[in-house]
Chains A and B, each alone.
Chain A
Amino acid sequence: GESVGLHLPTLSVQEGDNSIINCAYSNSASDYFIWYKQESGKGPQFIIDIRSNMDKRQGQRVTVLLNKTVKHLSLQIAATQPGDSAVYFCAESPPGGSQGNLIFGKGTKLSVKP
């Protein structure tokens, strides 16, 4: 498969454990944030999003937390499965943006051990 990053931070977890992936974003005025998952050879896939007027949002097995004070996002994955192994990116939409112009973080590689 294709490598999307040679020097990515890596998080290794045991199957069934919870995973927490962190991200620092750049613009304090950004108003919309997204987490993407990218598997080898594929484009990024939307996981969950959150607007700046919220501090927490839950999906199926995933939760995103937003701390605007320190410009920090986290993605929590419950009961991590081998299929969750991928590179995870946070992205922010600058103020006034159309969500067509996203600023991506460097990514974190999640490795799930069976």
Chain B
Amino acid sequence: KAGVTQTPRYLIKTRGQQVTLSCSPISGHRSVSWYQQTPGQGLQFLFEYFSETQRNKGNFPGRFSGRQFSNSRSEMNVSTLELGDSALYLCASSLGTGYGNTEAFFGQGTRLTVV
């Protein structure tokens, strides 16, 4: 069974640009969550999608957005990049059908560097 796949693995962008990151969940998983990981702030929740709908959202500015497609694949977008957006962006997938369906599997992440 293939794991969670994130593309690209590494990305360098310039301030002001926008970026789109992709996540393919484990087959059969309907929930995809995104997290930002930085040395200073640790792992912070960005948003969760389930069946193409945003189910939860973290405390990030509107420059951060996402979506989920009918095949459960998800993308996140960051517009008007700032230096502080440099981070490891992690995607996690789970069955997502609530209490009892627990384990979230993480991808290897996309390392975004903003210069």
B-binding residues in A (CB < 8 A): 2-7, 32, 34, 36, 41-46, 49, 89, 91, 97-107
Say yes or no for B96: interface residue by CB 8 A criterion. Answer: yes
Q: A81 vs B105: C-alpha distance in the bound complex, in angstroms?
A: 23
Say yes or no for B109: interface residue by CB 8 A criterion. Answer: yes
Q: A42 vs B107: C-alpha distance in the bound complex, in angstroms?
A: 8
A42 touching B108 by the CB < 8 A rule?
A: yes
* Binary contact track B22-52/A, C-beta < 8 Å → 1, others 0: 0000000001110101011011110010100
Give me the 3 closest cross-chain CB pairs, A-B, nearest first.
Answer: A43-B106, A100-B48, A104-B43
A4-B37, A43-B106, A45-B106 given as contacts; is B90 within 8 A of A98 (CB)?
no
A98-B96, A107-B42 given as contacts; is B102 within 8 A of A43 (CB)?
no
Say yes or no for B92: interface residue by CB 8 A criterion. Answer: yes
B39 touching A44 by the CB < 8 A rule?
A: no
Partner of B90, one of A3, A43, A49: A43
For A99, the chain B residues whose CB sits under 8 A away are: 31, 94, 96, 98-99, 101-102, 104
B42 touching A104 by the CB < 8 A rule?
A: yes
Q: A98 vs B33: C-alpha distance in the bound complex, in angstroms?
A: 11
For B107, the chain A residues whose CB sits under 8 A away are: 43
For B96, the chain A residues whose CB sits under 8 A away are: 98-100
